[in-house]
Chain A
Amino acid sequence: MGLVEVQNHGFEGLDHNVMTAPLEKLVNWSRARSSWPASFGLACCAIEMMATGGSHYDIARLGMEVFRASPRQADVMIVAGRVSQKMAPVLRQIYDQMMEPKWVISMGVCASSGGMFNNYAIVQGVDQIVPVDVYAPGCPPGPETLLHAITTLHAKIESGELLRRRSETGAGANIMVEQRDGQGMSQMVTIGQSS
């Protein structure tokens, strides 16, 4: 343990000990309370996400009213809407451009599982592309559901559970599924893997 390790790995470079535990708690506390979302509103769920940002539901009291356009400045990516085949590489690129630590909320059923569109054009769940931390069901999920998802995520950030799990398992659910595209071919895909 030395200064170089801290500089390279941040807090992960420090072993858990009685000196750094309160510091980690402070860091997790602050990360939870000011996680800025990357604007990734795609379809109808984006409208409800904007409604959550409005004054009635007010996402600003959770510290998240700044939807950063640049992924470099964002912590949470709320995938709001259906992800089409053409959009999937763009989604992955935005996710890769975000800085660690980053989290993903899959908002709505289209993002979580393909929703009502079980066809050639929609990716059946964004967890085939990016590792998802919280799934918010609904079509579209009302602002209350989205706020519930956000507070769930904040609770998990604050307890440090997510970062611990990622370092152990390489993130995600790791479910194997057979995916077909509209052209009759099928391939085995692992859901919920980050690379």
Chain B
Amino acid sequence: MSDTVDEAAADEQAPDDEAPDLVYGAPRTEVRGQQVIHPRRDEWRRTALELLNDGWNMCMDVTAVDYGTYGPGRDLPTGVDPERFEVVVSLLSYERRERLRVRIQVPEDDPTVDSLYAVYPGTDFLEREVFDLFGITFSGHPDLSRILMPETWEGHPLRKDYSTGAIPVQFKAPSQ
């Protein structure tokens, strides 16, 4: 583990234009003053433990985005392939008073990610909500069932191929 930290420190001090900026073993970008890292899906559990041990003690949010109909290109570092789904985790460190965002690419044909429940037990409900609304399963979660929709509901409402379900009314919205 210390090797990775030294490597990351060295990378941050002397950034090479060609080598990726690695933090906790994952490429890093900075978006509007906020740090974002992009670990690979199969390294996620290891990275999460490393983050916890390095002082990122609270997991504030776990959510997902369906980039299926996203027009412009995504702001991803080199070496990270865009997939349809992204699981976005937001972490907070008390000592540093900073936030860190983690974006994990999740492919459409295998929407599975490791669960954070054992590392941050506060992700219990948050991961269930992502499963309910997007259909991404979290392996290792003790009770992955629907939380917002009725348990017998079919479909995952926040996916882009699920319509809003609006009843047509006489007065239409402006840009339809």
Direct contact of A and B (CB under 8 A): yes
A179 at the interface (CB under 8 A from B): yes
Measured in the bound complex, the distance between the Cα atoms of B150 and A114 in whole Å is 19
Contact A184 B166 (CB under 8 A): no
Q: Which residues of B contact A184 (CB under 8 A)?
A: 163
Contact A119 B155 (CB under 8 A): no
> Known contacts A85-B149, A86-B149; is A182 also within 8 Å of B167 by CB?
no
A72 at the interface (CB under 8 A from B): no
Measured in the bound complex, the distance between the Cα atoms of B169 and A180 in whole Å is 12
Contact B167 A118 (CB under 8 A): yes
A118 touches which of B149, B162, B169 (Cβ 8 Å): B169
Contact A182 B150 (CB under 8 A): no
A85 touches which of B150, B163, B166, B167 (Cβ 8 Å): B150
A118 — nearest CB in chain B belongs to which residue? B166
Minimal beta-carbon separation of A104 from chain B (angstroms): 22
Most buried by A among B149, B155, B165: B165
Q: Which residues of A contact B167 (CB under 8 A)?
A: 114, 118, 124, 178-180
**Size band of the interface chain A makes with B:** 10 to 19
Q: Which residues of A contact B17 (CB under 8 A)?
A: none
Provide the A117-135 mask, 1 if CB < 8 A to any CB of B, else 0: 0111100100000000000
A181 at the interface (CB under 8 A from B): yes
Measured in the bound complex, the distance between the Cα atoms of B149 and A181 in whole Å is 13
Minimal beta-carbon separation of B174 from chain A (angstroms): 15
Contact A119 B154 (CB under 8 A): no
B163 — nearest CB in chain A belongs to which residue? A182
Q: Which residues of A contact B163 (CB under 8 A)?
A: 120, 182, 184
B157 at the interface (CB under 8 A from A): yes
Contact B164 A183 (CB under 8 A): no
Measured in the bound complex, the distance between the Cα atoms of B161 and A184 in whole Å is 11
A86 — nearest CB in chain B belongs to which residue? B150
Q: Which residues of B contact A180 (CB under 8 A)?
A: 165-167
Grouping DSSP codes into helix (H, G, I), strand (E, B) and loop, the A interface class, with mixed when no group exceeds half, is loop
A88 — nearest CB in chain B belongs to which residue? B150
B162 — nearest CB in chain A belongs to which residue? A182
Minimal beta-carbon separation of B150 from chain A (angstroms): 5
A183 touches which of B155, B166, B169 (Cβ 8 Å): B155
Q: Which residues of B contact A120 (CB under 8 A)?
A: 157, 162-165
Contact B150 A119 (CB under 8 A): no
Within 8 A of B (CB), among A157-195: 178-184
Within 8 A of A (CB), among B118-159: 149-150, 153-155, 157
Minimal beta-carbon separation of B145 from chain A (angstroms): 13
Contact A119 B165 (CB under 8 A): yes
What 13 additional pairs, Cβ within 8 angstroms, besides A118-B167, A180-B166, A181-B165? A85-B150, A85-B153, A86-B149, A118-B166, A118-B169, A120-B164, A120-B165, A121-B149, A178-B167, A179-B167, A182-B165, A183-B154, A183-B165
Binding site for A on B (CB under 8 A): 149-150, 153-155, 157, 162-167, 169
27 contacts between A and B (CB under 8 A): A85-B150, A85-B153, A86-B149, A86-B150, A118-B164, A118-B169, A119-B164, A119-B165, A120-B157, A120-B163, A120-B164, A120-B165, A121-B149, A121-B157, A121-B165, A124-B167, A178-B167, A179-B167, A180-B165, A180-B166, A180-B167, A182-B155, A182-B162, A182-B164, A182-B165, A183-B162, A184-B163
